Amino acid sequence: MFRTLSITLWVATISIAQAPQNTKPFVVDPPISGETFLVVEKAANVFKNKIKNLDLCKYDIVVLRKEKEISIIFQSKNRPEGVLGNPGPLPEFEVTINLASNEITRSNFVR
């Protein structure tokens, strides 16, 4: 299975989608570090465990790095600009991971 990964810098917004068979496995623009990719993948697995048949193609993934932790927020691609909370039919989710221990410190749905 191949995934396409594209990033638009805000803090970092990542979109994960299925790629056609004859394409590169990952397309990242601008590049992210391998450490960040692994954290996003870990957070995506937490989200997938909460929702059956989750389609990450419908989400933008926002990565926010703080001093000792990193937060990954899965937001609907169709979310209106400047809206707080979850305005649409897709569930939105946030995972916070401690950078020193690589432990998940918090995970919750966005209201």
Domains in the chain: boundaries:
3-109
pLDDT value at residue 79: 81
pLDDT value at residue 15: 47
CA 42, CA 48: separation in Å to the nearest integer? Answer: 10
Beta bridge partners of 72: 63, 95
pLDDT at 62 over 50: yes
Q: What is the pTM of this model?
A: 0.69
pLDDT at 80 over 60: yes
* CA atoms within a 13 Å half-sphere pointing along the CA-CB vector of 44: 21
pLDDT value at residue 17: 44
**Structural tokens at position 67:** 């001093």
CB 47 within 8 A of CB 41: no
Q: Looking at residues 7-30, what average pLDDT do you find?
A: 45
